[in-house]
Amino acid sequence: KARQSHLFIVQYEAGWDEDHLRRLQLFADFKEALINEEICLHYQPKVGASDGSKIGAEALIRWMHPTFGFVNPEEFIAVIESAGQISLLTRWVIRAASMQAKQLWSQGHQLRMSVNLSALDLLEDDLPDFIRKILQELELPPEALCLEITESAIMQETERSLANLNRLHNLGLMLSIDDYGTGYSSLSQMKQLPVGELKIDKSFVMDLDSNEEDRQIVKSTIELGHTLGLKVTAEGVETELTRDWLIANGCDTLQGYFYSKPVPARDFHHWLEQYLQR
């Protein structure tokens, strides 16, 4: 392709390394990838612990690049963030995930769809209004959406991001602290946030079966979450043993390969039908 040979000349002249070129190429291609559906969403169930009947979903972005193949979302999100274009991607994700939620709701599955935000999204004053309009357009109640924000993003909190979190909360959206345990947020910080869910990072959950230290950490995190009045979700639930331990220890919601990997919308529908008939 002409585009690629152009970049090759740039590399030759400036001596950039392969990695830098790859990032440039990803950035050059991403808008087109959104349009021609190389980028899509996959969905992973979030299962209620009590009787397993309350189901939600998390939307996770996927990019199948024509020359690079599958690109890890953390890699290209970092590229798009540093190019100052993340809000474009986030809005595409929110729209696509909301449309999927609408389809599920109209089939009688009133589930909550979770979407991941980047730290930079919280600096955008018009994000709350963008979401309000989408919900209105699709005739979806705010309970249909949840926004997941990483603990480290929340720690970069500014007056502006806190104001935006409050505005999102006031729309009636559920807010969730993602990757909990990987940052160092303080209790006083946690207390003032308008969040309803805490997600324990999968690094503490994946080895629960064999690791007593992780069990202690997860146990006290569940207690902490409940003390703060939050629902606690564990991600990275891979085994039946882990599931049973989490349920016995009061965890509210479970997510992980034990139930399903993130899958395309059609497969998620299929999983849901099967699961509800179990």
- Three-state SS letters, 108-166: CCCCCEEEEECHHHHHCCCHHHHHHHHHHHHCCCHHHEEEEEEHHHHHCCCHHHHHHHH
| Residues from 204 through 233 that contact ligand C2E (CB under 6 A) | 206
In the block, tokens 């193949």 appear at: 69
Q: How far is the CB of 120 from ligand C2E (least distance, A)?
A: 9
Residue with tokens 């955008």: 124
With binding defined as CB under 6 A, does residue 183 bind ligand C2E?
A: no
By a kind-dependent CB cut-off of 5 to 8 A, residue 93 interacts, out of Ca ion, ligand C2E, none, with: ligand C2E
Contact string (CB under 6 A) for ligand C2E, positions 122-161, x = contact: --------------------------x-------------
Nearest alpha carbon to residue 146 among 103, 102, 113 = 113
Among 29, 151, 214, 235, binds ligand C2E (CB under 6 A): 235
The C-alpha atoms of residue 31 and residue 124 are separated, in whole angstroms, by: 20
Q: Which is nearer to ligand C2E, 116 or 253 (CB)?
A: 116
CB of 84 to Ca ion, least distance (A): 22
- Determine contact, residues 196/173, Cβ cutoff 8 Å: no
Nearer to Ca ion, 29 or 202 (CB): 202
| Residue 74 CB, nearest approach to ligand C2E (Å) | 5
User: How many chain residues are in contact with ligand C2E, going by CB under 6 A?
Assistant: 23
74 is an interface residue for ligand C2E by CB under 6 A: yes
Per the CB < 8 A criterion, the answer to whether 209 and 241 are in contact is yes
3-class SS at 106?
Answer: helix
What the block records as the tokens of 268 is: 């998620």
User: What is the contact surface with ligand C2E in residues (CB under 6 A)?
Assistant: 44, 60-61, 73-74, 77, 93, 116-118, 148, 178-179, 202, 206, 235-238, 255-257, 262
User: What is the contact surface with Ca ion in residues (CB under 5 A)?
Assistant: 116, 148, 178-179
